Structure formats: structure tokens, C-alpha cells
Amino acid sequence: MQRKIIFPILTVFLLLWYCTPEASAQKKEVKILPEKVVSKFQAGALPLTDPTSGVWLNLPASTVKLIPQDVQEPKLAAPSIGSIKVRSINNGSWIAFHIEWEDATEDFNLRADRYSDGVSVEFPLNPKQPPDHRMGSEKEPIHLLLWKAYQQKAKEGTSFLALNYPNRWSDYSPYELPGHSVSPAHAAEIKGLLPAVALGNPIVPGTAPVVEEINAETWNKVTIQEDQDAKGKGTWKDGRWYVVIARPVITPDPQDAPLDGGSSYVAFACWDGAKANQGPRKMVTEGWLSLEIGK
């Protein structure tokens, strides 16, 4: 008697869950596109931080279509970047992606009402069972390499206070007094008064690397990796961004997606600061693209 009662109840419960929007979204999110990105093998040193190197011009480019992110709030209301051009090269030790797209303005000033341009390269940690290409899924994380224009500018020494508030007055800031040097002991004392700087908080301008390595298991579970090995650089010229994002092919870090098998999947996302792109408000690929790594 108990079996006859429990079985229908369990069946109804499973059917109801299976038909929920969340479950349906999970089933449809894993999409493999017919397009592919080929990483050409080239022995020797690679231009890992030079997006204007002539080496990139000799590589075939894949035009990758982007669509607005329309799954997670806040969604992108209108398209901002239609497509990107992707080139890739590797020497067996490093793999680099050269990403190019049209952008009328160079946006690197981060403020409450201003946003930064950016681009990311994403890989599944388990290529045999790739999850949602946007931000992974529970227990199926993705490895994400994120380049943001504001992070690069901060690393280059751009003062956001001077940029946003050129007429400000600082009563006491040894870091900004012209011609004033600060002894190491005094500098340590000052940093002790700035806990976010002292602890290396990655959201402090100039602290985060130019290309940040992140793991994501859905939109609400994002972890910044402790070991940051990626490299890269972006250059804006004549209404176009040229960005290089590179990482080691083989690493001992279990949080890094494996690329030593010669093939995997790759996805991309892009932000246009002038169009208020920020966080989930971004352009993304429609699914995973096959990645072939030449040897």
C-alpha cells in the first residue's frame, strides 16, 4: 500500500521539478556551436602582452557572433557588440587569444555612473561534460579569464581620484604630494590605515591583475583564484579594441581548465562600458565553440 502511494507522489514531484523554468533552462543551456577556434602551434616566444604584434596578422581569424545575455538579472536590454574576431596561437607552454572588436569609445573610468570595457575567455573544467557556457552550473564550474580596461589602467598607474575629481583637495596623502618620498617603514604604517589595500582586496584599483582568473559555478557562486598565472594586455585604437589574453597550457592548479589534451571548448563574453555593460549585462556567445590546440 505504501509503495502505491509513495510512487505516484514521487513521480509527480519529479515531473513538477523537471518542468520548472530553472530545470528547463539547465537542460537547454548546454549548447555546442558548429564554429571552432583553432590555436596554431608556433615554436618560440609568443606576444603574450602585445596585441599589436605583426604575428597576429598572419593567423586566421574566426568571426564569433555575440548575443545579449538574457538569462540572469540584470539582463542586457539592447545589443551592444555584434561580434568579435578571435585568433589563437600556442607554443606548447602558453596559449594566447587575440580578440578584436569595434568600440567607438575607450571606456576605462570606473564610477557609479560609468563602466569599463572588457572581454573574457571561458573554458569548462570538464571538457567531456561542459556546463552552461555563460557561468557554469552547480558542481560543473568554468575557468574564466577576465580582462577589464579599468584594471589595466589602474595597474599602469592611472589615478581614478585625479581622473574623476581633478579639483579635489587632500589634507594629507604622502602618496600624492609632489616630490615627497615615503620611507618603507612609513609606507607600511600608512597601509596599516588602509585595510583593503593591506589585505590585497582585488577590488582596490591597481590590486587585481590585468587578466584575472576566476572560477564560476552559476552566477551567484564566483571565486577569484588564489594563483593568478594569466597574462594579457589591451590596446584601443581608431575605434577598435585589440586584446590579448594568455594562460599556461599545463598548470598544477586543479582550478585551471585542462588544455593539454589538444582539444576543449571555449566561449567569450564582452562588455561595452559606454552602453552601461557591467556584470551580467554583457554580450555572450550563443554556446560553446570547439577549441583545437595545434601541436
Q: Of the residues 205, 232, 261, which one is the last residue of a structural domain?
A: 205
Same domain, 172 and 137: no
Same domain, 263 and 287: yes
Put simply, whether the predicted model's pTM sits higher than 0.85 gets the answer no
Residue 197 cell numbers, joined? 589595500
pLDDT tens track for 237-281? 999 999 999 999 999 999 999 998 899 999 999 999 999 999 999
- pLDDT tens track for 98-130: 999 999 999 998 777 889 999 999 999 999 999
> 164, 111 in Cβ contact below 8 A?
yes
Summarize pLDDT for 137-181 with one digit per residue, the tens: 888 999 999 999 999 998 887 777 777 778 876 665 555 555 556
- Judgement on whether residues 132 and 197 belong to the same structural domain of the protein: no
pLDDT of residue 190: 65
Residue with cell 540572469: 72
Are residue 114 and residue 136 in the same domain, yes or no?
yes
Q: Which run of H or E residues covers position 188?
A: helix 184-192
Is the domain of 149 the same as that of 229? Answer: yes
Q: Comparing C-alpha atoms, which of 239, 258, 263, 233 is closest to residue 248?
A: 258
Query: Domain with 88 in it: what CATH number?
Result: 2.60.40.1190
Side-chain-facing half-sphere of 30: CA atoms under 13 Å: 16
Estimate to the nearest angstrom the gap between the alpha carbon of 134 and the chain centroid.
11
4 in a structural domain: no
Would you say 200 and 224 are in contact if contact means Cβ atoms under 8 Å apart?
Answer: no
| 60 shares its domain with 196 | no
What is the Cα Rg of the chain in Å? 22
**130: helix, strand or coil:** coil
**DSSP conformation class of 22:** H
Identify the helix (H) or strand (E) that includes residue 138: none
Per the CB < 8 A criterion, the answer to whether 97 and 86 are in contact is yes
The Cα–Cα gap between 75 and 117 comes to 17
- Exposed / middle / buried, residue 16 (Cβ in 10 Å: 0-12, 13-18, 19+): exposed
Number of domains in the chain: 2
CA distances from 141 to 80, 131, 257, 274 (A): 27, 7, 9, 30
Which domain does 167 fall in, by range? 162-205
